[in-house]
Amino acid sequence: MSPSRSFFASCVLIAVVVAAGAGAFAYTAGWLSPNRLTPAKLVDVLAPPGGPALGYRRNHAKGICFTGVFDSNGKGADLSVAQVFAPGSYPVVGRFNLATPSPNAADATVRVRGLGLQITTPDGGVWRSAMIDPPFFPVATPQAFYELQKASHSKDPEAMKSVVAAHPEIAAFGKWATTTPWTSSYAEDPYNGLNAFLFVDRAGVARAVRWSLRPVAEPVPIAPDELAKRGPNYLEQEITQRVAAAPQRWTMTVTVAESGDVTADPSKAWPAERRIVEVGTLVVQRIEAEADGPCREINFDPTILPKGISVSDDPFPAARSAAYARSYDRRTAEAKHYPRTSGSPKQ
């Protein structure tokens, strides 16, 4: 291998190891057998060598709650009959988080950040979504994600090289991880729903879409070593202070696929010229520590959708749902290991 290719390969490997916890995706969707992955196997492989942090989410374990509203501008109503797209303001509960199985990980050691979101509407509709800041996922299939997780924990120096060779799409993610600037605030990051879903309009027409949140706050780049100097929990401290000073906003955009666009592979971004509709604004109004916060018991299952939104042929949402459920069952059974604060009425 030439020196330049060797250097690039090294960057990819480093990025993949750092970002291996990009999300808890499983390979289930009903295809269970001894030789297939199960939710339990996927959740198990997420654990670090010392074992999982009992009482916490098995991935994206470090996080902080928020509440606020989603202000819909009505433009999404042409795409979906979901009430959330009718003009109005709807309550939200969410969670800023880091893609790590450790609730004590230092901020500067985790490349991928996430946002879990729940929007409720007066008709009883509930829309849950789990988003991350990369514009695409590292690998194309749930099986590949499982292999990536195993390789990231393996002592075999050839394990990660084998996964990278078998799944060349990882290179694009590696480039993103090593070239995209870091920020020093959750408020300055975009968050992307990487999976394709179907929006159904009043005429019954279904369109494949992906959604994203674009920050109103101007991103200010920061080097990881500088972020490290600000402390291991700086992101939670910063977002708490920032929101106390003023609500923070993100524009929700919906990208509409065209014929021929791949909908079952989240590692493939759609062309930049696709139709993009701005459907509203997420307004974060209050931050609360997770131990007693309103997001603690929410399972941000991406298959919990209101009328007018449904899953597509993308296998990941159903697989994520199964893994999230297993993680939820385990952590709630271990609640004593993640104590609420003294005096909490929820104890």
- Residue owning tokens 């394709």: 196
pLDDT at 203: 98
Cα–chain center distance at 172? 18
pLDDT at 226: 98
What is the Cα–Cα distance from 33 to 38, expressed in whole angstroms?
8
Q: Is 46 helix (H, G, I), strand (E, B) or coil?
A: helix
What is the Cα–Cα distance from 274 to 261, expressed in whole angstroms?
10
Dihedral sign for Cα atoms in the order 41, 64, 222, 249: positive
Contact between residue 97 and residue 65 where contact means Cβ atoms under 8 Å apart: no
Q: Phi and psi of 103, rounded to 5°? A: -70, -10
Decide: pTM greater than 0.95: no
Contact between residue 28 and residue 145 where contact means Cβ atoms under 8 Å apart: no
| β-pairing verdict for 248-256 and 221-222 | unpaired
CB proximity list for 87: less than 8 A, separation 6 or greater: 72, 73, 74, 77
Contact between residue 115 and residue 248 where contact means Cβ atoms under 8 Å apart: no
Cα–chain center distance at 123? 27
Q: Phi and psi of 81, rounded to 5°? A: -85, 0
From first to last of its 347 residues, what are the pLDDT tens digits of the chain? 444 444 444 444 444 433 334 343 333 343 334 457 777 887 888 888 889 999 999 999 999 999 999 999 999 999 999 999 999 999 999 999 999 999 999 999 999 999 999 999 999 999 999 999 999 999 998 888 888 888 888 888 899 899 989 999 999 999 999 999 999 999 999 999 999 999 999 999 999 999 999 999 999 999 999 999 999 999 999 999 999 999 999 999 999 999 999 999 999 999 999 999 999 999 999 999 999 999 999 999 999 999 999 999 998 998 899 999 999 999 999 999 999 985 544 43
Dihedral sign for Cα atoms in the order 201, 274, 181, 9: positive
Q: Which residues of 14-31 are buried (b: 16+ CB within 10 A; e: fewer)?
A: ebbbbbbbbbbbbbbbee
- Look up residue 4 and give its DSSP letter: H
What is the Cα–Cα distance from 242 to 239, expressed in whole angstroms?
5
Within 10 angstroms of residue 82's Cβ, the number of other Cβ atoms is 22
pLDDT at 33: 41
Q: How many helices (H) and strands (E) does the chain have?
A: 8, 12
Q: Is 80 helix (H, G, I), strand (E, B) or coil?
A: coil
Could you tell me the two tokens for 83? 């009430």
* Spatial CA neighbour of 329 closest among 302, 301, 306: 301
pLDDT at 345: 45
